[in-house]
Amino acid sequence: MGVPDLDRLLADGVRGQRVFVRADLNVPLHNGAVADDARLRASIPTLRRLLEGGARVVIASHLGRPNGRRDADLSLRPVASRLAELMGVGISFSDDCVGEEARSAVCNLGEGQLLLLENLRFHGGEERNDPDFAVALAGLADVYVNDAFGTAHRAHASTAGIVPRVSRAACGDLLKAELEHLRVIREPIRPLLAIIGGAKVSDKLSILEGLAPHADVLAIGGAMAYTFIAANGGAIGNSLVEPDRFADTLRVETAAREAGRRLLLPSDHRVADRMDPSARTQVVRDIPEGAMGLDIGPETAGRYALEARKAKTIFWNGPMGVFEMEPFAQGTWTVASAVADSPATSVVGGGDSLAAINQLGVGSRIDHLSTGGGASLEYIQGRPLPGVTALER
Q: Which residues of this chain interact with Mg ion, rule CB under 5 A? A: 374
Q: In this complex, which beta carbon is closest to Mg ion, that of residue 191 or of residue 374?
A: 374
Regarding 26 and contact with ligand 3PG (CB under 6 A), the answer is yes
Catalytic residue flag (residue 204): no
Identify the residue among 151, 239, 317, 353 touching ligand 3PG (CB under 6 A). Answer: 151
Catalytic residue flag (residue 374): yes
Q: Of the listed pieces 111-119, 149-157, 300-308, 331-339, which binds ligand 3PG according to CB under 6 A?
A: 149-157
Q: In this complex, which beta carbon is closest to Mg ion, that of residue 42 or of residue 230?
A: 42
State the minimum distance, in angstroms, from the CB of residue 374 to Mg ion: 4
Regarding 373 and contact with ligand 3PG (CB under 6 A), the answer is yes
Q: In this complex, which beta carbon is closest to Mg ion, that of residue 129 or of residue 342?
A: 129
| Residue 65 partner contact from ligand 3PG, Mg ion, none using kind-dependent CB cut-offs of 5 to 8 Å | ligand 3PG
Q: In this complex, which beta carbon is closest to Mg ion, that of residue 197 or of residue 266?
A: 197
Identify the residue among 125, 150, 237, 266 touching ligand 3PG (CB under 6 A). Answer: 150
Which entry of 64, 68, 363, 374 is annotated as an active-site residue?
374
Identify the residue among 213, 358, 374, 389 touching ligand 3PG (CB under 6 A). Answer: 374
Regarding 17 and contact with ligand 3PG (CB under 6 A), the answer is no
Which entry of 161, 198, 351, 387 is annotated as an active-site residue?
351
State the minimum distance, in angstroms, from the CB of residue 233 to Mg ion: 33
State the minimum distance, in angstroms, from the CB of residue 297 to Mg ion: 30
| Residues 199 to 218 in contact with ligand 3PG, rule: CB under 6 A | none
Q: In this complex, which beta carbon is closest to ligand 3PG, that of residue 55 or of residue 163?
A: 163
Across the strands, what pairs with 30? 33
| Residue 274 partner contact from Mg ion, ligand 3PG, none using kind-dependent CB cut-offs of 5 to 8 Å | none
Residue 115's alpha-carbon distances to 61, 83, 103, 108, in angstroms, are: 12, 11, 11, 10
Identify the residue among 1, 8, 52, 65 touching ligand 3PG (CB under 6 A). Answer: 65
| Closest listed residue to residue 150, CA positions, set 158, 141, 142 | 158
User: Residue 107: left (phi > 0), alpha (psi -120 to 50), or beta?
Assistant: alpha
State the minimum distance, in angstroms, from the CB of residue 23 to ligand 3PG: 10
Q: In this complex, which beta carbon is closest to ligand 3PG, that of residue 24 or of residue 307?
A: 24
Q: Are 270 and 296 in contact (CB under 8 A)?
A: yes
**Residue 158: exposed, middle, or buried by beta-carbon count in 10 A (0-12, 13-18, 19+)?**
buried
Which entry of 18, 22, 39, 270 is annotated as an active-site residue?
39
Residue 238: how many CB atoms within 10 A of its CB? 16
Tell me the residue nearest to ligand 3PG as measured from the CB: 26
Q: In this complex, which beta carbon is closest to ligand 3PG, that of residue 159 or of residue 300?
A: 159
Which entry of 48, 168, 186, 200 is annotated as an active-site residue?
200
Catalytic residues: 39, 200, 351, 374
**Residues of this chain that bind ligand 3PG (CB under 6 A):** 24, 26, 65, 150-151, 154, 373-374
